[in-house]
A = this chain, B = another copy of it.
């Protein structure tokens, strides 16, 4: 493994940092390649020596962040410990992280390419959750359905929460989403389900 040329390392970091700052400042969609290279004090042509387009650059910039977050949350633990000492710590960590970078994530998820990133994030989350589910035998539903449900619901709620300028504190939303996911709408709303309906 040959070490990367210092110039390459520096250039990529400069581009990534410039991108994130500019997304916060002026959003993702209107951002031109030249805006990024200008902010990074580089020539536009240099960009294409490292990345195919804005999207590839953003994905590279986000990947580190996500890996770090995943370690913090140990997200799979949410599923893993469902039957034991349950907790909503993973949710809380994630929502707090989203809150700290709310402008960045809001602009990304609400951008044109937002769907691309949302998909990546959901796949990433679902993968982590799937690991935890593998340790639970006799699931009533296919594991990938459950994993993608949990991941999709969480991501959808983060998206909604950020889009609407975080109308409730992170603690409350995290708790709510956790509860809804684990126990369902019926239990959360204090609605009794008669046994008759349990199979319909």
Who on chain B is nearest to A113 by CB? Answer: B112
Who on chain B is nearest to A151 by CB? Answer: B156
Interface footprint category on A: 35 or more
A180 to B186, CA, bound (A): 10
A58 to B190, CA, bound (A): 40
Query: Are B185 and A150 touching (Cβ within 8 A)?
Result: yes
Nearest CB in chain B: distance from A132 CB, A: 11
- Contacts known (A83-B192, A187-B183); A153 close to B149, Cβ less than 8 A: yes
List A168-200 residues whose CB lies under 8 Å from chain B. Answer: 168, 173, 176-177, 179-193, 197, 200
In the complex, chain B residues whose CB is within 8 Å of the CB of A27: none
Asked if A140 lies at the interface with its beta carbon under 8 angstroms from chain B, I say yes
Number of copies of this chain that the complex holds: 2
Asked if A116 lies at the interface with its beta carbon under 8 angstroms from chain B, I say yes
Query: Are A87 and B139 touching (Cβ within 8 A)?
Result: no
Who on chain B is nearest to A136 by CB? Answer: B189
Asked if A88 lies at the interface with its beta carbon under 8 angstroms from chain B, I say yes
In the complex, chain B residues whose CB is within 8 Å of the CB of A142: 168, 176
Who on chain B is nearest to A86 by CB? Answer: B197
Contact of A182 among B155, B185, B190 (CB under 8 A): B185
Interface residues of A (CB under 8 A from B): 79, 82-83, 85-88, 109-116, 118-119, 122, 136, 138-142, 144-146, 148-153, 155-157, 159-160, 163, 167-168, 173, 176-177, 179-193, 197, 200
